[in-house]
Amino acid sequence: MKTKIVLLGPPGSGKGTQGEMLSQELGFVRLSTGDMLREAARNGAPLGLKAKEYMDRGALVPNDLIINLMKEKIKSLGEGTGVIFDGFPRTVEQANALGEQVNIDLALNLDVEDSELLNRLTKRRSCPKCNAVYHLDYNPPKKKNVCDKCGSELYHRDDDKEETVLNRLKVYRENTKPLIEYYEGKGTLKTVIGVGSIDEIYGEVKKTVL
Ligand code: AMP
């Protein structure tokens, strides 16, 4: 089984949802840089406040900040721990830094077209406490605006508003999409079409890990 997994794919492609399902089922740790940065920003930590300036515009946080943050996280994991990297790496520089520390055995690329991504993100609602995500039409919470898992009030991320989403997609194409070729060159890339029901996609995702 693959135990060091990178999730690739544009914002809204389902990395968080599928990564969380995998980590639950396999007992792997899911490391989401986006979740970490948002939490740091909510707590008023210096790193979070700095990162927020970039996140609010849909820009990438500078490589050195992210690389240092992840270096520490990775060091704190046990040798044999299964890990799912969600939202990291997002640049070739980050991928090189990750490669120095961890032997990635699967880069799973979730492929979804832009029109679908825009719909998903503008109608996404997120839980600030447990990071669960919902979609107003496809995957609504049982009670309006309340997280099924922890009961917190859901919110619409600032960077999920249309104008910022369009910038995030541009940033993805320019900086992160080249990682598809990068991991293809290493022989670890697998692509799953990220369209269909969450369970259908998960079925395909699981096949790539086993
Ligand atoms: P996400 O939750 O993965 O969509 O990330 C939200 C935002 O956090 C991104 O738009 C970036 O501003 C920032 N971010 C998350 N991960 C990274 C990363 N690996 N490199 C640079 N910025 C990141």
pLDDT in tens, 153-198: 999 999 999 999 999 999 999 999 999 999 999 999 999 999 999 9
**Do the strands 124-126 and 133-135 form a parallel or antiparallel pair, or are they unpaired?**
antiparallel
Residue from 125, 77, 110, 81 nearest 176 by CA = 110
Tokens linked to 140: 């609504």
Protein residue with least CA distance to atom 1, ligand 1: 34
% pLDDT > 90, the chain? 97
Atom of ligand 1 nearest to the CA of 58: 10
CB distance 121 to ligand 1 below 6 Å = no
Query: Residue 78's pLDDT band (boundaries 50, 70, 90)?
Result: confident
What is the distance in A from the centroid of ligand 1 to the CA of 35? 9
Tell me the average pLDDT across 199-205: 97
CB distance 36 to ligand 1 below 6 Å = no
What pTM was estimated for this model as a whole?
0.95
Task: State yes or no: pLDDT of 89 exceeds 90.
Answer: yes
Q: Give the span between the Cα atoms of 98 and 199, in whole angstroms.
A: 30
% pLDDT > 70, the chain? 100
CA 127 to each of CA 13, 98, 105, 192: distance values in angstroms, whole numbers, following the listed order: 18, 28, 31, 26
4-112+176-209: CATH superfamily: P-loop containing nucleotide triphosphate hydrolases (3.40.50.300)
Tell me the average pLDDT across 128-150: 95
Task: State yes or no: pLDDT of 128 exceeds 90.
Answer: yes
Q: For the residues of 90-149, what is the DSSP string, one character each?
A: -SHHHHHHHHHH----EEEEEE--HHHHHHHHHTEEE-TTT--EEETTTB--SSTTB-TT
Task: State yes or no: pLDDT of 79 exceeds 90.
Answer: no
What is the distance in A from the centroid of ligand 1 to the CA of 177? 14
- pLDDT at position 13, please? 97
Name residues whose C-beta falls within 8 Å of residue 44's C-beta, 6 or more positions apart in sequence: none
Query: Residue 6's pLDDT band (boundaries 50, 70, 90)?
Result: very high
Task: State yes or no: pLDDT of 14 exceeds 90.
Answer: yes
| Domains of the chain by residue range | 4-112+176-209
Tell me the average pLDDT across 12-34: 96
CB distance 17 to ligand 1 below 6 Å = no
Task: State yes or no: pLDDT of 205 exceeds 90.
Answer: yes
Mean pLDDT of the chain: 96
What is the distance in A from the centroid of ligand 1 to the CA of 18? 17
- pLDDT at position 129, please? 95
CA 148 to each of CA 123, 128, 132, 173: distance values in angstroms, whole numbers, following the listed order: 17, 13, 9, 33
Q: Which residue has the tokens 């259908």?
A: 200
